Homo-oligomer: A and B are copies of this chain.
Amino acid sequence: MTDPPPTHDIEAVFREKGIPFTRQRRLIWEFFAGADRAATITEAADALRGDGVGQATVYRTVTLFSDLGLLARVQDRRGDICYTAPPIGHSHPLVCGVCRKVVRFDGDGDVRDLEARLGAESGFAIYGHHLEVYGICSECRTAKDGDHAG
């Protein structure tokens, strides 16, 4: 696993684009970047309410981060929309359906082959794809095995 991207990198992205990196944005970024699993907007808003970050700001900011490619949208097993950092620029999320832990993988070579083939066969101009893989992480499996007694 890679380290979470340091906050100052993100600041650089913002500065480069001339967008203010405010206290609230930093807090929201740290919430997602600091977690090793995907979180919903509601969870972020709940967690940051105590820090004086409003719900609307969380929505706005998550949208902003998504637009900038800094957060990726994934789904948990119930279909809830979650967000995960760091960017999925050229990687894809492997999401634990139980605890929502996210492991990133490349896999882009595979998909790019497929895209090239598809484009040729279908006549579509391919502009992107969305690939998520779902599984249960080893910890959750262990926990589940332990639960068998109860």
Contacts and interface: CB of A to CB of B under 8 A. Distances in A.
A134 to B, nearest CB: 5
A105 B111 CA distance: 13
11 contacts: A75-B130, A94-B126, A110-B110, A110-B114, A111-B131, A123-B137, A125-B135, A128-B133, A129-B132, A130-B131, A130-B134
A34 interface: no
Nearest to A96: B124
Q: Please state the number of chain copies in the assembly.
A: 2
A36 interface: no
A141 interface: yes
Interface string A70-112: 0000010000000000000000001011000001010100110
A115 B103 CA distance: 13
Interface of A: 75, 94, 96-97, 103, 105, 107, 110-111, 113-115, 118-119, 121-138, 141
Contacts of A128: 133-134
A118 B130 contact: no
A57 B131 CA distance: 31
Contact of A131 (B127, B129, B136): B129
Instruction: Give me the 7 closest cross-chain CB pairs, A-B, nearest first.
Output: A124-B135, A123-B138, A126-B135, A129-B133, A128-B134, A125-B136, A130-B132
A132 B134 CA distance: 14
Contacts of A138: 123-124
B129 A115 contact: no
